[in-house]
Structure 1
Amino acid sequence: MAIHAPTVTQKHLAVLIDADNAAAAIVEGLFEEIAKYGVANVKRIYGDWTGPQLGGWKKVLLDHSIQPIQQFAYTKGKNATDSALIIDAMDLLYTRRFDGFCLVSSDSDFTRLASRLREEGLTVYGFGEEKTPRPFVSACDKFIYTELLRGEALVAASNGHDRPEPEPLAEIETVNVASTPEAKKLPKAPVSFIAKILDDIADEDGWVHLGALGTNISKLRPEFDPRTHGYKKLSELIKGYPDTFELQARGTSGVGGSILYARHRQPGL
């Protein structure tokens, strides 16, 4: 009797882009990132396409099958794009065809929309610049800074910048930016924060499944991303601090290989 591998069901996602608050330069990285979370069944972008300001987006729409939605600015200084995107999002929500939404904008006006979608049990992935207001970031299940999609953080790491040392306190870290982009330093990894989560959810021996660790981190800090700190994956970040964390591979998980567990090294052990 043949044994078939279990079928993996991908999430159906609606991608809604605020062209006024997102740069066309992220488009390649954006859809590569979205592919990690599911299938983009709907891809729409909102803006006033009669003007020259969205020229960058016009060049990439066909290549990525993004449907442009025209929204005229009815009054100077007022942004009607937000309202059009929100109305469409609610229409799509009530079709009950989607498992999640990808909201691409750095505008805090979408904070309530993200919360409303989550109230319906859908997963919300936010994409915006590091300047995105905290309320919108916190309203999403996962928030990805678009600077990462341009590869800026990884480029800085590959140019010889050392990864930062662990911070002594569990405070939210800040990015230290020098006068030139080339001198931009990577922010410190939230080591104390990660250690506290490990302590809170660990088993009797102090170990935590790496997937569970990542899930709990995202619940408290939706914007957390190892790439921000110069690491491609959470496992690499854990390995990067051997004096604080321990990583262990156990058995196999079939096609996926070893199952990874992490532990907070207690002082003196």
Structure 2
Amino acid sequence: MGVEDTGNGNSVVMYWDFENLHAGVLESKYGEGAYAKQDNRFKPQEPLVDVQALVELGASFGPVAINRAYGNWQYFGRYRDALLQNAVELIQLFPPGASAKNGADIKLCLDAAEDIGRFGHIGTVIIIGGDSDYMPVAQKIKAAGRTLIGIGNRKNTNKHWAKSCHEFRYYESLVEQEASTVTGPDETPNPVVETPANQAADLLRRAVHLLAESKGEPWVNKATVLPMVKRLDPTFDPKDHGHASFAELLKSMDAVIELKKGETDHKIRLR
């Protein structure tokens, strides 16, 4: 099969082994083995995964072209709104037996191999899950010249799988970092943002933080900030926040960001 779509290779694809991720987060909260218990696994699950933090990480690598989460949504239905609001496609998988795995890793690997063979615009593949079963597809992704990013829980991620990625992020570190950036180290997280000004400041803070993380330094080019903001919230319009342009909005955010002149573009960093 030939490549159906070509491009500059900057698109991102995300594949979520959702049960694997959720199980790790639940066991971090309630103790090792908590998810594996028969009475806990086969019932509606408490929503514990920070879906938005992971989607935002994906967006920091480029525009997300494919975003699929694999699982038995009979039990993970409470995540529905968070996933759909972040444009994640839900792939339903039914386990073949009462105690069997749902086969997410197999389906995920097949889809990843097919997608990189079909779409030339894919540059970065993100696999969210900690199983060693992903090692064979990791070799195919890298052989195809794509960048592989892995995300998993610290305790239940196979170390050989983590080492087979170009870059691996632990979920716990990612969420802790996200919380400290959005709220500040000494503030209590508040999920309700009431005013447009606060919404704009929060969105700008997250965008600059993600760009700085991917670049490895605090100062980022001003020209890269608006595209990142748009990836985080495609509905963003500075007029909705009381400003005629994005440049005017930036000038009003002196308490959030610092601006300086660069060689070819203005630079921005978080205060």
Task: Output the TM-score relative to the length of structure 1.
Answer: 0.53
User: 1:167-220, CA deviations, whole angstroms, 9 ceiling, x for partnerless residues?
Assistant: xxxxxxxxxxxxxxxxxxxxxxxxxxxxxxxxxxxxxxxxxxxxxxxxxxxxxx
Question: Are the equivalent residues in 2 in contact too, given 1:19–1:57 (CA < 8 A)?
Answer: no
Alignment correspondent of 1:66: 88
CA drift at 1:153: 8.3
Alignment correspondent of 2:109: 86
SS at match of 1:72: coil
CA radius of gyration, larger in: 1
Letter in 1 for 2:265: V
Alignment correspondent of 1:146: 171
For 2:95 and 2:111, how far apart are their aligned partners in 1? 17
Aligned pair in 2 of structure 1 residues 92, 133: CA closer, same or farther (>3 Å)?
same
Does 2:71 match 1:47?
A: yes
Of Structure 1 and Structure 2, which has the larger fraction of its residues in helix? 2
SS at match of 1:25: coil
CA drift at 1:22: 1.8
CA drift at 1:77: 3.3
Higher relative contact order (CA 8 A, sep 6+): 2
CA drift at 1:76: 3.6
Q: Which stretch of structure 1 is more off in the superposition, 114-123 or 150-159?
A: 150-159
Which residues in structure 2 correspond to 1:1-269 (within 5 Å)?
11-23=10-22, 25-50=49-74, 52=75, 54-79=76-101, 80-97=103-120, 98-131=122-155, 132-151=157-176, 155=180, 158-159=185-186, 234-235=216-217, 252-255=262-265, 257=267
Q: Which stretch of structure 1 is more off in the superposition, 151-160 or 22-31?
A: 151-160
SS at match of 1:158: coil
Aligned pair in 2 of structure 1 residues 95, 11: CA closer, same or farther (>3 Å)?
same
For 1:40 and 1:235, how far apart are their aligned partners in 2? 23
Identity %: 22
Q: CA RMSD in A?
A: 3.1
- How many positions carry a matched residue from both structures? 165
Stretches of structure 1 that go unaligned for 5 or more consecutive residues are: 1-8, 161-226, 237-250, 259-269
Aligned pair in 2 of structure 1 residues 128, 254: CA closer, same or farther (>3 Å)?
same
Alignment correspondent of 1:264: none
Task: Output the TM-score relative to the length of structure 2.
Answer: 0.53
